[in-house]
Amino acid sequence: MKAIAIRTGLAAALMALGIMAGAATTEAMPPNAAAANAMAGAARQVPPAVDAAVRKNLAARMPSFPKIDEINTTPVPGLYEIRIGTDLLYSDADASYIFNGSLMDTRARRNLTEERQEKLLAFDFDELPMKDAFTIVRGNGKRKLAVFEDPNCGYCKRFEHDLQKVDNVTVYMFLYPILGPDSIVKSRAHWCAKDKGQAWQDWMLRSEPVKAEANCDLTALNRNVEFGKKHKITGTPTLIFTDGSRVPGAIGTAEIEKMLAAK
């Protein structure tokens, strides 16, 4: 019971700071000088001896440990970041101890792990496989947004209603059927529809089933799923903006406008 109480108290303290994962505040305090200096220190090069020791010791002590892509410093003296793809772990100077979790800057109220992963997961918008998406254009279409959606995703339907209120935008819609076999069936029908954009909006906004048979080239759907796995798109909707930033989950009209205006 005491351990549970300690964990509960810690969670409450982190929530109060606004640095629990997914609880980032929109009015975060600016980092003070010490925090800024600490962040600047994170750019220091890892001593070659530390890099070698971490790699050697992990390989010897944990033979099944995945291949390390790079080792970086952190704002914490003696603590190093181990990057494996887009996953992050932390270690001391000789890998005697490693942990998987979030590194928090309590003074600046920032989740440094989350910020780092956002950079690692960022896209080059121009390199998205647009041939595997269809477009929905509103107004002059000058602003751009890519979205990955599943036809059976309730949050996607809610998001689509909010997206209707956003003008002067081109939406690149990637069908991403990950919620089960029926999602695949529906996605195939929508991809083969004569007017994909209209069929998609009829379904997502008005629950009108698409009147089409899946008798076209469906390889785009397979490529979308593989692309999503590669880039760790684990849920729908997932939004990608022109600066490469992504938003996992449904957001309202005001937040969509804010993100588009910032690009």
Q: Is the pLDDT of residue 22 over 50?
A: no
Bridge partners (DSSP) of residue 84 are 87
**Positive or negative: CA dihedral 107, 112, 113, 115:** positive
What separation in angstroms does the CA of 32 have from each of 80, 111, 154, 219? 22, 15, 42, 51
pLDDT in tens, 44-92: 699 999 999 999 999 999 999 999 999 999 999 999 999 998 899 999 9
Bridge partners (DSSP) of residue 74 are none
Helix ranges restricted to H, 108-195: 112-120, 154-163, 181-191
What CA–CA distance (Å, rounded) separates 7 from 17? 15
Q: Is the pLDDT of residue 38 over 50?
A: no
Q: What's the N-to-C CA distance of the chain in angstroms?
A: 49
pLDDT in tens, 158-211: 999 999 999 999 999 999 999 999 999 999 999 999 999 999 999 999 999 988
DSSP string, 46-94: PPHHHHHHHHHHHHHH-TTPPPP-EEEE-SSTT-EEEEETTEEEEE-TT
Q: How confident is the model at residue 145, as a pLDDT?
A: 97
Q: Which domains does the chain have, with CATH numbers?
A: 27-120 (3.10.450.70), 125-261 (3.40.30.10)
